[in-house]
Structure formats: C-alpha cells, structure tokens
Homo-oligomer: A and B are copies of this chain.
C-alpha cells in the first residue's frame, strides 16, 4: 500500500463523523454543492525558478478548477490562502494570475488568508454548484465500462524536463506551466450520462488515475498504450508524469457514445489491478510522500 493510501486510511479510521474521503471533491447533496481543497507547496508543486508569481497564481486556481470539472460540477467561489516571504510585487502578480483565471471560469474570490512563513504555501478551496448534475466518484466504475480520456499525456513532464535542462521547447514548457482544461467535455458527461461514472484529472499521472479507479471500484482495468493521446515519446512521462490535467473517465458504453471529444483507450472487467496491453502494472504510488 502506498503512503498516501495509508494516510487516507488512517484519516478515514480516525474521524468519527467524516464523509467518505477518497475523491478529489466532496459532494454535499443537501446543499447541492461540490467542494475541493488543494495545497500547492513551493519546490514541491512549483518552483520560482521556472514560474512567475502570475503563473503560480493562475496555476493555483486552475488545478482546483480542474478537480471540480472532473467531478461534473460548475465552479463558483474560491478562497485562497497564501503564506511565505511575500512582498507587494509578488502579491500583486499572484492575484493578477488568480484574477485572470477567475474571470475566465466565472469564479468569484470570496476570501482567504495571508500569513508569513518560509517557503510559499498556497491552499485554494473551490466551491461549486452541483447544478443537480450527476457527480463523479472513483467508486463508480463497473465491469464493461469504457476507459475514455481527453487531453495529451506526458507533455507536462516533458515540459518540466526541458525547463530543468534549459532546453528551449515552448510547446512543452507552456503545457507544463499552464494546464489545458476541458470544461465542455466534463459538463457534457455530467449532463448527458444516464449511469454513474468515475472521472479524475490526471494531476498525478494516467496510471495513478487508473489505479485509484480500479482500487475504489474493485474492477480490473486494461488499456492499450498505442491509443493514449500523447506528443512525447517518453513512455514513463506518458504513464506516470503528473500535472497534465487530462480527463480520465470510466463510463457506461452507451453514455460514452453520446460524448464528443473523448477517446476510448481501454475497458473495465471483472478482477483487479491495472494492465497495459494485458501486462499488469506494479504501481507504487505517485511521488508525494515516497
């Protein structure tokens, strides 16, 4: 069991009145709200060496919007807490980035906190309207479901490699700095599906998504490597690279046929584990805590 799973198990065992914690978003049925909170830590999730304050602000909000979109809900309000050795210049540029993305996705910033600290630590809470839609859960995949994706896998990892090695490649480095999101496709899934579905963004990599869905839904997942949309030739980046924010979904076959823009890369069946071209993957968890 990887460390993040172990920690989640501890948390779920310790709390006496928690909702199920295991999805990226919490779904409050009565309030018709979907909520997510993500932390971004300097030199873990981003580096000031490669990103400006404005880019960091944009990304901090966009990765949370990505989680909400993968749940099927509509982003609405955000709270932003930031700590670190901050000056006026950083704060101004950071919030310009936040503002640009908030405007684009019609999110209102309603509060937050500012404190001092050593390294920069950002936490964004995003509150979304579930709009009465079907909200995704990692537990929802079933046998015969289709594994369908959109976006391109591995490009962000390739971009980070270029930045670190000082290789000029605007396509990949821009992809790393500013994830592309797919609001129309995720909204269509939430609106048009007639059956429960699982959906995640690939923030921790493709195999991580498949592993989480397989484990929580208790199904075997097999995908075909050649069918994965990708621009990089590095197989490790395609399968394990994080920060792509592609959509990875497990859907009923009839539901899948209704959604434009999704590509089938595999299927769910009876059993357990994640397989690529029928070879079992021994996955030990994403880099956090390892």
Residues of A within 8 A of B (CB): 4, 6-8, 10-11, 14-19, 21, 23, 25-26, 28, 31, 33, 35-39, 41, 43-45, 77, 79-83, 86, 88, 91-92, 95-96, 98-99, 102-103, 106-119, 121, 123, 125, 127, 288-289
Contacts and interface: CB of A to CB of B under 8 A. Distances in A.
Contact of A114 (B7, B25, B118): B7
A96 B13 CA distance: 10
Given A115-B45, A117-B121, A18 B108 contact: yes
Please report whether the interface of chain A is mostly helix, strand, loop or mixed according to DSSP.
Answer: mixed
A36 B127 CA distance: 12
B15 A116 contact: no
A188 to B, nearest CB: 25
Given A38-B113, A114-B288, A114-B289, 4 more contacts: A10-B95, A19-B110, A41-B117, A118-B118
A116 B289 contact: yes
Given A11-B95, A88-B10, A98-B15, A109 B39 contact: no
A118 B39 CA distance: 13
A95 B11 CA distance: 6
Contacts of A114: 4, 7-8, 288-289
Contact of A88 (B6, B43, B102, B127): B6
Given A15-B102, A96-B14, A123-B39, A83 B113 contact: no
Contacts of A288: 114-116
A1 to B, nearest CB: 12
A112 B64 CA distance: 12
B118 A79 contact: no
A26 B111 contact: yes
A103 B17 contact: yes
Given A21-B111, A103-B16, A117 B38 contact: no
Contact of A112 (B21, B92, B106, B119): B21
